[in-house]
């Protein structure tokens, strides 16, 4: 996947396309800017998911419209497309967050890593807590694989959409990987 250089102010008045899809993990909202996928979230209901998207991009105009990039993202989520290089991401975050998220993209499918391993990988071994915070701020579920992070003990913890879903995704990736 490729990422664009952008910060929160760049999306202030941009139009974002979004659509809802049924994935193998449940309903998902996928949103994109003209530069790429900028938001992926599992959705228990459409209204609260749309509100989360709007709160993340408060000044953006939201247009419910299926974009071809949404289908490619869904195919990655559903394991139907393995070549993620066709997906362009439009990541919004601080430079530190982007560095952490880029490190997450390096974790091979079907594998896991720990917070401290990511901190070491980015050259900030003492920034384990900051790495955890950056991972928690990831708004592009599955495509930026924050679900592949486990505690140093190997135990699962902390996933915005629930540890049970995280476990299911990791088990499936292990079978397919």
Strands 26-33 and 61-64: unpaired
* Domain annotation for the chain: domains and CATH numbers: 2-89 (3.30.160.70), 95-176 (1.10.10.10)
User: Catalytic site residues?
Assistant: 146
DSSP character for 108? P
152 and 113 in contact (C-beta within 8 Å)?
A: no
In 3D, which of 85, 81, 73 has the Cα closest to residue 140?
Answer: 73
Alpha-carbon distance 35 to 25, whole Å?
26
pLDDT reported for residue 12: 54
- Among the residues of the chain, which ranges form H helices? 46-56, 68-77, 95-105, 115-121, 128-136, 163-176
40-56 pLDDT, tens digit per residue, is 999 989 999 999 999 99
Per the structure block, which two tokens stand in for 105? 């993209």
pLDDT reported for residue 92: 86
Taking CA atoms, 102 is separated from 50, 69, 84, 93, 171, in Å, by 26, 20, 14, 12, 23
pTM of the model: 0.88
Q: Which residues contact 29 (CB under 8 A, 6 or more apart)?
A: 18, 19, 20, 39, 40, 41, 42, 43, 46, 49, 50, 52, 53
The stretches in the chain having pLDDT less than 70 are: 1-13, 82-83, 177
pLDDT reported for residue 1: 45
* Other C-beta atoms lying within 10 Å of the C-beta of residue 46: 12
Per the structure block, which two tokens stand in for 139? 């708004």
């Amino acid at each position: 996947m490729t990422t664009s250089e952008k910060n929160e102010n760049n999306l202030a008045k941009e139009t974002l396309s979004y659509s809802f899809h049924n994935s193998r993990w449940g309903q998902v909202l996928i949103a994109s800017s003209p530069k790429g996928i900028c938001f992926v979230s599992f959705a228990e209901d459409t209204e609260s998911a749309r509100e989360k998207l709007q709160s993340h991009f408060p000044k953006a105009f939201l247009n419910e419209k299926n974009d071809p990039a949404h289908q490619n993202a869904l195919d990655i989520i559903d394991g139907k497309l393995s070549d993620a290089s066709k997906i362009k991401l439009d990541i919004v975050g601080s430079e530190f967050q982007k560095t952490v998220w880029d490190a997450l993209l390096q974790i091979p499918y079907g594998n896991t890593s720990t917070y401290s391993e990511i901190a070491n990988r980015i050259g900030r071994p003492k920034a384990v807590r900051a790495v955890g915070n950056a991972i928690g701020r990831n708004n592009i579920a599955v495509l930026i694989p924050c679900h592949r992070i486990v505690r140093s003990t190997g135990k699962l913890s902390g996933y915005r959409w629930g540890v049970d879903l995280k476990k299911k995704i990791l088990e499936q990736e292990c079978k397919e990987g």
